[in-house]
Structure 1
Amino acid sequence: MKRLLNAVSILSLCFYLASRIAVAQTSGSDTVLVLPFENTSNFKEYNWIGESFVDALSELLSVPGLRVVASDERELIYQRLRLPLTVIPTRATAIKIGREAQATLVVYGAYRVTPVQGENAPAEIQGTARVIRVNEGRLLGEQLADGRWASQQFDFGGPLKTLQAMQGRLAYQILYQRDKAFPFSLNQFIERATKVPARAFESYVKGTLTTDPEKKKAYLQNALLEYARVNGGATYTQAAFELGQFYFERQDWKEAAEYLSRLQKRDRHYAEAAFYAAIAYWRMNDLTRALGALLPLTTETRMKSVYNNAGAISIQAARSEAKVEERDRLLKQGAALLQRASESAPEDPLVRFNYAYALLLLGKYAEAADQLRPVITANPRDGEALFLFAKALEKMGKAEAANSADNESRRFLPAYARWQTEWLRSQTLSQVPLRLYQNFNRLDYYDAARDRLAQDEGTNVDAKNLLAKARELYAAGRDDEALPELRRALTIEPMSAEAYLILGYIHQRRGDLDAAVSALRTAIFWNPRLIEAHIALGRIFLDRGDRAQAMTYAKNALQIDPNNPEAIALQRQVETGIK
Structure 2
Amino acid sequence: MKRAVVLILTVPLLLVAYLYAQGRPASGRTLVVVPFENTSPTPGLEWLSEAFPEAFHQQLNSPVVYVASRDERLRAYDRQGIPANLHPSRATLYRLAEQMDVDYAVLGSYSYDGVHLTATAQLLDMRAQKLLPAATETGPLTDLGNLQSALAWDLLRLIRTDFSLPKEKYVASVSPERLDALENYIRGMLAVSGEEKVQYYKEAVRLNPAYPEAWLELGKTYFAQHTYEPAISALSQVPSSSALAREANFYLGLAAFSHGDFARAENAFQFVATRLPLAEVYNNLGVVAARRGRKNSAEYFEKAIRNDPSDPEYHFNLAISLSLAGDRAGAARELRTALDRRPSDLEAKALLDSLTPPAAGVVAAASIAKAPAQRMKHNYDENTFRQMTVQIQSWAEQQFARSDPRSHARYHVELGRELLAHGFTAEAESEFNHAAMVDSASTAPLTGLAEVSVARGDAREARTRAEASLRLRESADAYVVLAGLDLSENRGEAAAQNVNRAVQLEPGNLAAQNLKRAVAAKLAEKAQPLPQP
Q: TM-score, normalised by structure 1?
A: 0.61
Pair 1:450-2:361 in alignment: no
Deviations 1:492-516 (A, max 9, x none): 96745347999xxxxxxxxxxxxxx
| Correspondence for 1:292 | 267
Task: List per-residue Cα deviations over 1:113-158 (Å, max 9, x = no partner).
Answer: 33x4xxxxx5x32231101222111133xxxxxxxxxxx2101223
1:222 matches 2:221: no
Q: What residue is the counterpart of 1:176 in the other structure? A: 157
Instruction: Tell me the SS of whatever aligns to 2:110.
Output: strand
Equivalent of 1:238 in 213, 220, 242: 213
Matched with 1:154 is 135
1:198 alignment counterpart: 179
Query: Is the CA contact (8 Å cut-off) linking 1:106 and 1:134 kept in structure 2?
Result: yes
Superposition map of 1:182-331 within 5 A: 182-211=163-192, 213-228=194-209, 235-263=210-238, 267=242, 269-298=244-273, 305-317=280-292, 319=293, 327-328=294-295, 330-331=296-297
Q: How does 1:421-500 map to 2 (within 5 A)?
A: 427=367, 432-437=372-377, 439-440=378-379, 442=381, 445-451=382-388, 455=392, 495=420, 497-498=425-426
Cα offset for 1:80? 3.1
Match of 2:50 in 1: 51
Shift in alpha-carbon separation, 1:398–1:239, aligned structure 2, 3 A: closer
State the SS of the aligned residue for 2:268.
helix
Equivalent position of 2:350 in the other structure: 386
User: CA contact under 8 A between 1:313 and 1:334: conserved in structure 2?
Assistant: no
Q: With a CA cutoff of 8 Å and minimum separation of 6, indicate the structure with the bigger relative contact order.
A: 2
1:132 aligns with 2:71: no
- Give 1:85's aligned residue: 84
> SS where residue 46 of structure 1 aligns?
coil
CA distance in 2, matches of 1:492, 1:192: 19
The 5 Å alignment of 1:393-412 reads 393-394=357-358, 396=360
Aligned length: 418
Q: CA 1:305 to 1:26, structure 2 compared with 1: closer, same or farther past 3 Å? A: closer
Q: Distance in 2 between matches of 1:456 and 1:184?
A: 28
The change in CA–CA distance for 1:458 and 1:223 in structure 2 (over 3 A counts) is: same
Q: Which amino acid aligns with 1:46?
A: L
> Take 1:458 and 1:339, find their aligned partners in 2: how far apart are those partners?
15
Contact residue 322 and residue 328 of structure 2 kept, 8 A: yes
Task: Return the letter of the residue paired with 1:136.
Answer: A
TM-score by length of 2: 0.66
CA deviation vs aligned residue, 1:368-392 (integer Å, no higher than 9, x gap): 1122236568668936752464246
Q: Tell me if the contact between 2:332 and 2:355 (Cα under 8 Å) persists in the aligned partners.
A: no
Deviations 1:473-524 (A, max 9, x none): xxxxxxxxxxxxxxxx99996745347999xxxxxxxxxxxxxxx9997446
Q: Does 1:353 align with 2:316?
A: yes
- Please tell me whether the aligned partners of residues 342 and 352 of structure 1 are also in contact (alpha carbons under 8 angstroms): no
1:135 counterpart SS class: coil
For residue 171 of structure 1, report the CA deviation from its aligned partner: 0.9
The answer to whether the 8 A contact 2:338-2:348 is kept is no
Q: Which runs of 5+ in 1 are unaligned?
A: 1-14, 117-121, 141-151, 229-234, 320-326, 400-421, 461-488, 503-517, 538-547, 550-579
Secondary structure of the residue aligned to 1:107 is strand
**Separation of aligned partners in 2, 1:172 and 1:248:** 36
1:334 is aligned to: 300
Aligned-partner residue type, residue 346 of structure 2: D
Kindly tell me: are residues 491 and 376 of structure 1, through their superposed partners in 2, closer, same or farther at Cα, counting changes over 3 Å? closer
Distance 1:70-1:523 versus aligned 2 partners, 3 A rule: same
Which whole-Å CA distance do the structure 2 matches of 1:448 and 1:25 have between them? Answer: 16
